[in-house]
Structure formats: structure tokens, C-alpha cells
Amino acid sequence: MDKSKSLYIIDGSSYIFRAYFGIRQFLSTSKGFPTNALYGFINMLQKVVKDEKPDYLCVAFDSKEKTFRHDIYSDYKANRDAPPEDLAKQFPYFEPLVDAFNISSIRIPGYEADDIIGTLALKGSKAGFRVVIVSGDKDMMQLVNPKVQMLDTMKNKRIGIDEVKEKFGVPPEKVIEVMGLMGDSSDHIPGVKGVGPKTATELIQKYGSIEELYKCIDEIEKKKLKEKLVQDKE
């Protein structure tokens, strides 16, 4: 059994929305202020503390401002609607709530929770910690390694290297290559048009990376697939 000190990093921004949509009945204070997302978030936080007993714990939140990704790609997440009004009212209270539990919260202008989590996971694992990312976000799967795993508390599921391979057909370090080819509709990031998860996985399994795939583009026997890859190279 790994006796390393544990570092748990909670994807706070993701769990706010999961808590809100997970508790659809209307909960409020006596004055009518909505509290369903706050209530669900507290339950998740307490579950991690009680069940996991982490040595170190922090919660990462998205920047309130636009991130550097918007500078790179102006349509980043442009497909997302504004949050429901009753959820937006609760936004200012999540960080104070985390602070009230004497748990560190981290928010950095211009960066998403994903960026903070990735940095902490890398630094933590290099420092010898057993890192657990508390999130259900598939984007986090690229961070999994022998010292970093994921925990989806809402599905009571742990995600290690084998689980990532089962989902994507490639090891964690290749997940970004597969997603680069097929795109990510949830973030409004286009991939190669017409290339879905199955084809993207097969290509990365064979060539190892997008860069190597394009070096060997003339080897692609399927004419339509080759045309799509050439057309959407950028």
C-alpha cells in the first residue's frame, strides 16, 4: 500500500455545476435565496474530508476573467449559455464557504481550474505526494499516472491508468492527441471534421501523435479520411 502523503485537489468550478444540476428541487433560505448548489457542494466537500481523510486538500476555481485560451481561440466555449440566474446568485459564496471549512481555495486571474489542477498535480507528484484529482472531467484524464489518479465522488468511481485506457484506447499521455483530432464540443473546440472517437483512437494507436500522423499522411489509404485530415490540418 502506498504510504505517501496524499494531496487531494478538488475541481471546484466543475462541482458547482454538478451540484446545481444534481439537486433540482428548489432549496432556499427563509428569505428565498437559492441554496441548492451550495448545499450539494457542501455535501461533496464533507464526503471527501470524511471518506478520504486527505493529508492535504485544496479547491481550484476558474478565473472570473477570460483566460489565455480566449486569446488563442476567440470562440473558446462560445457555445455555452449563461448560467441559470438562481445559480449565478450563489457564485459569490462558494469560496467563502471553502474558507469557512479552513480549506485552501485557489483562483488565478486568466487561468482555469484545469490549469491550476494540472500544475499542482505535476508539482505534487514530483514532490512525492499521492495526488488525487476530485473531478469527473474527462480532460483531467491526461494527467493520470502512477502517482496521480482521479476520483469522481458523484459516481463513486476511481480512475487510474487502466480506466483511462479503457475509455480512450490509449494511455493518459496520449489522450490529448485523441482529443486534438476529434475536438471537444463541450468547449467549442473543433477537431478534424468527420473524425470521431473511434477513428481518432485508431490513428493515434497507429501513429502515436498528431505530428507523426501528418508526417505519414501519404500512408492514409482512405481517400476521404486523408482529405479531411489535410483540409482541417490547422
Structural domains of the chain, ranges and CATH numbers in brackets: 6-167 (3.40.50.1010), 169-231 (1.10.150.20)
For the stretch 193-206, what's the b/e string if a residue is b when 16 or more beta carbons lie within 10 angstroms of its beta carbon? eebeeebbbebbee
9: which strand partners?
58, 133
pLDDT in tens, 167-208: 999 999 999 999 888 876 665 566 778 788 898 999 999 999
Which cell goes with 118?
494540472
Query: CA quadruple 216, 220, 223, 224: dihedral positive or negative?
Result: negative
Closest CA to 61 of 140, 18, 8, 117: 117
The model's pTM is: 0.85
More confident residue, 217 or 121: 121
Please say if the pLDDT value at position 219 is more than 70.
yes
**From CA 189, how far away is CA 192, in angstroms rounded?**
10
More confident residue, 63 or 68: 63
pLDDT in tens, 141-161: 999 999 999 999 989 999 999
**From CA 119, how far away is CA 143, in angstroms rounded?**
10
Per-residue pLDDT at 70: 45
Which cell goes with 14?
466543475
